[in-house]
Structure 1
Amino acid sequence: MKMHLTSAAAGFLLLAGIGAAAAQDVVIAPEQETVIKEYVHKQPLASVKIPGVELNIGSTVPETVELHEVPNVKYRYVVIDNRTVIVDPGTRKIVKVID
């Protein structure tokens, strides 16, 4: 019985680790990040406040928030609480927060 519980616990930890890795799968290449930063600097947006939304990678930006394009980049951006937030437009999940 003890061996069975240990195996189950190990399996659970393995699955939890896989889930955490999948949540952080998105990697923005340094050159893409540079393009985004330069574009955002040239195209400043007014900052919006979104009560209840934490600016963490993986958090979802509500549908009511307009996402803005960066030419030739898959991701969109919005400025929330004076921080530039890079969002996956398909899932509306935050993939990077740029201070």
Structure 2
Amino acid sequence: MTRHAFVATTLAMLLSGSAFAQDIVVSPEQETVIREYVTKHKVAPADVTGVEIAVGATLPESVELHAIEEADVKYRYVVVDGKTVLVEPETRKIVHIM
């Protein structure tokens, strides 16, 4: 294998792995439970000035994450501009926007 082919293959593997790692799936049933929970348990919208709200973005420590008690998910949530944003608590990365 040439050096160019090796680099291209390695890069393709890394990129596909990154895409796969961020492809978080929340089942439709979980999404329904989460929507109902968020509707019932009103929280103040998060102040995320200067942060792009997109899957993979990291929220600062100043943003309070809220637990979802009634859904079987490990994620926490915040509300931004009327959208529920699911966040991985350990990394504070956005994993799903509803």
Q: Which residue of 2 aligns with 1:17?
A: 16
Q: Which has the higher contact order (CA 8 A, sep 6+)?
A: 2
Q: Which structure's CA Rg is the greater one?
A: 1
C-alpha displacement of 1:6:
2.5
Gaps of 5+ in 2: none
3-state SS in 2 of match to 1:13: helix
Task: State whether structure 2 residue 78 is matched by structure 1 residue 78.
Answer: yes
Q: 1:10-89, aligned counterparts within 5 Å?
A: 10-24=9-23, 26-73=24-71, 74-89=74-89
CA distances 1:6-32 after superposition (whole Å, capped 9, x unpaired): 3322222222211221122x2212211
DSSP 3-state at the match of 2:95: strand
Q: Which runs of 5+ in 1 are unaligned?
A: none
The size of the alignment, in residue pairs, is: 96
- Among all aligned residue pairs of Structure 1 and Structure 2, give the percentage whose two residues are the same amino acid: 46
Q: Does the 8 Å contact 1:57/1:94 carry over to 2?
A: yes
- In 2: Cα distance, 1:3 partner to 1:91 partner: 37
Which amino acid letter does the alignment assign opposite residue 97 of structure 1?
Answer: I
Higher mean C-alpha displacement, 60-69 vs 71-80: 71-80
